[in-house]
Amino acid sequence: MTLFSIARKNIRQNFTNYFLYFTSMIFNIVIYFTFVTLKYNETFQATSDASPKISSAFSGAAVVLMVFVAIFIWYSNSFFTRKRKKEVGLYSLLGVRKKQIGRMLFYENFIMGILALIIGILLGPVLSKFFVSILMGVMGFEAIGDFSISLAAIVNTIMVFSLITIITSFQGYRLIYRFKLIELFQADKEGEQEPKSSFIMALLSVILVGIGYWLALQNLMESNAWKEMGLMVTPLVILATVILGTYFLFSTLTVYLLKMSRKNKRSYWKGINLIGTSQLLYRIKGNARTLTIIAVLSATTLTAVGTAYSLYYNNRSNVELANPISMMFINKDKNVTNQVRDIFSNNKNHDVIYHKSIPTLQINADVTTLKNNLFSNEMMYTVISVNDFNTLAKVQKRIDKLSLMGNEAAALDAGYYEGMSPNYIGSTISLKVNDRVENITFKSLKKYNVLNYYTASTTLVVSDQLFTQLGKETNSVKMEVYEITNEDEAKQLTKDIQLILPDEARFSSFYADYSAGMESSGLMIFMGGFLGLVFLAATGSIIYFKQLTEANSDKGRYEILHKIGVNKKEVKRSIAKQVLFVFALPLIAGIAHCSVALTALSRLMQTSLVIPVVICMGVYTCIYIVYYFLTVNAYYKIVTK
């Protein structure tokens, strides 16, 4: 029997243990392959206007993935090797040289890596096609028919993963030399000691997390803490306190709480609680580091995907806010305007819901009275009459009506941001007309506009008399406003019109912003989502493997329990509870961290992220639950065999 065949046999026999690790490795490879393919693919890039950006985004994502996979395989391999100390000890005792054992372990890791690579490369082209069609879907593109697999992507994937496999396999080889024979035999015998608990450390963990959360939830503009530490340092402080806090939370607070729960004899001495609690107590401390990594990874993934998804989810409403009208431009040239009108009337795919020519004034105003540091002292505003505002608001189905008298005005600021934008109401600004000024006072503020932001920017509404009066003294400009059906599919129409309009017409369309938003946020979701899935699969498989290792060392205990009359149902219930604890801890911590991060973010972005984030968390939790059940079943099978 050669070392190679022993290695092969070992893999086959340990396959249930390796199964999830193996699957997640294949999954990693497939995703990496997909990213690299997209990086190299020209057809895909030609479809998108922002192709250099996309290409570099995928390169970045591929690098992140590569680093992660390397760490994941490294960690798992050293973990597997350590778990087999006893077996290695036996080989040593039988006179097998360390060099040979090391070679055998090297072969094992190598075979697994290469096998995963082969399967990954075979599955890659098929699955990546599927993934890319998902990407096309979320980015709002039509599917690309001839999506070909580039040789460069295959070569790249093979090179990268072979390298990772070889390096990590060598590590197993090296690890053997650090073991001493006597240690190898005592590895399992070392009586597990009950961990010590400290109230102070437990308290410290809560305080650390608390500080992190508190800092994250501060108002960036007003908080003294942020001012003191600076915008660069504070996020690092938040990260450090939360990660450290999470670690202590898992390593000491849980121990402390479990010990406390033991004091309540009425529940502790009830059925199999005794077993579950004491086993957890022994195990949790050793798992703290893994659980922390998993919690932090979960939080990061959830936050990233949550952000991307909320951008995606809110894309339409954001674009609608900036572009309440399908298409709009300034009438600079009568001929061109007529041409555009013809394009609209000849178009068969879209019906014009309404078309208006809105007379507007472009007026400079002295805004020193608004006392806003972010603005210069002079601003250019588009001014419309209250009558036109009311008509537009009506056709845009807003149940809002303005009535303004004399020098009263209203501001339409779609980009209004509490704390950053000026306090309009009650302020007076001076409009500069010819050589005199006209003072107007803001009576009301609307956080939307009835005109597109790109064409009209912030718009002021004045009374009809004032508008007529001002119109006599300054040039009036007509803005053409078209609302059409299926505005989100108006790709061709937008292109056609864009082509004939000069830049000064400041053409703006719902479609252009909408599709750009879909593209970039769709891309982010796609990358964030798949990176997230890779992280999830990897961390899930780590918990799975750790739990199964524990199951193997718990076998004896469950045998004793079986002998003294614990039935299978009780065993299963106890396992389910115990494993639930291990799975729930990092998930709950991850969700909590992510909620805080996203609360801070949603304050910053001033949008509600609740629905998209809840969807993300739901999906994440569901996958986690699948892992949970797999683990419980495998655990149960091991201890009842």
Partner 1 sequence: MQTILRAKNVQKVFGTKGNLYKALEDIDLEIKEGEFIGIMGPSGAGKSTLLNILSTIDTPSSGEIMIANQNIVRMNEEQLSDFRRNKLGFIFQDYNLLDTLTVKENILLPLALSKVPANEIEKRVNEIADTFGIREILDKYPYHISGGQKQRTAASRAIVANPSLILADEPTGALDSKSATSLLESLNALNEQNQSTIMMVTHDAYAASFCKRVLFIKDGRTYTEIHKNHQSRQEFFQKILDVLASLGGGH
What is the rounded distance in angstroms from the CA atom of residue 633 to the CA atom of residue 638? 9
Nearer to partner 1, 157 or 578 (CB): 578
- Which of 52, 426, 565, 618 is the binder for partner 1 (CB under 8 A)? 565
- Which of 15, 269, 375, 417 is the binder for partner 1 (CB under 8 A)? 269
Binding piece for partner 1, criterion CB under 8 A, among 101-109, 284-292, 328-336, 558-566: 558-566
Instruction: Decide if 458 contacts 412 (C-beta within 8 A).
Output: yes
CB of 629: closest distance to partner 1 in angstroms? Answer: 23
What is the rounded distance in angstroms from the CA atom of residue 623 to the CA atom of residue 537? 9
Nearer to partner 1, 262 or 341 (CB): 262
What is the rounded distance in angstroms from the CA atom of residue 610 to the CA atom of residue 617? 10
Q: Does 185 bind partner 1 (CB under 8 A)?
A: no
- Which of 183, 194, 351, 464 is the binder for partner 1 (CB under 8 A)? 194
CA distances from 578 to 114, 345, 551, 556, 559 (A): 35, 69, 11, 17, 17
CB of 262: closest distance to partner 1 in angstroms? Answer: 9
Query: What residues form DSSP beta bridges with 409?
Result: 442, 462
Binding piece for partner 1, criterion CB under 8 A, among 44-52, 267-275, 505-513, 618-626: 267-275
**Number of residues in contact with partner 1 under rule CB under 8 A:** 28
Sequence-separated (6 or more) residues with CB below 8 Å from residue 622: none
CA 316 to chain CA centroid, Å, is 19
What is the rounded distance in angstroms from the CA atom of residue 181 to the CA atom of residue 185? 7
Q: Does 426 bind partner 1 (CB under 8 A)?
A: no
Residue/partner pairs of 419-427 with CB below 8 Å, 24 or more apart: 419/219, 419/221, 420/374, 421/372, 422/367, 422/370, 422/371, 422/372, 422/375, 423/370, 423/371, 424/370, 427/369, 427/370
Nearer to partner 1, 473 or 570 (CB): 570
CB of 281: closest distance to partner 1 in angstroms? Answer: 7
Nearer to partner 1, 95 or 191 (CB): 191
Sequence-separated (6 or more) residues with CB below 8 Å from residue 340: 329, 480, 497, 500, 501
Binding piece for partner 1, criterion CB under 8 A, among 143-151, 196-204, 269-277, 625-633: 269-277
Binding piece for partner 1, criterion CB under 8 A, among 201-209, 275-283, 499-507, 630-638: 275-283
> Tell me, what DSSP letter sits at residue 249?
I
Q: Does 154 bind partner 1 (CB under 8 A)?
A: no
- Which of 60, 137, 210, 271 is the binder for partner 1 (CB under 8 A)? 271
Q: Does 568 bind partner 1 (CB under 8 A)?
A: yes
Nearer to partner 1, 394 or 557 (CB): 557
- Which of 158, 274, 336, 500 is the binder for partner 1 (CB under 8 A)? 274
Applying the rule CB under 8 A, the residues between 278 and 297 that interact with partner 1 are 278-279, 281-282
Helices (H) and strands (E) in the chain, counts: 21, 9
Residues that bind partner 1 (CB under 8 A): 191-192, 194, 265-266, 269-275, 278-279, 281-282, 557, 560-570
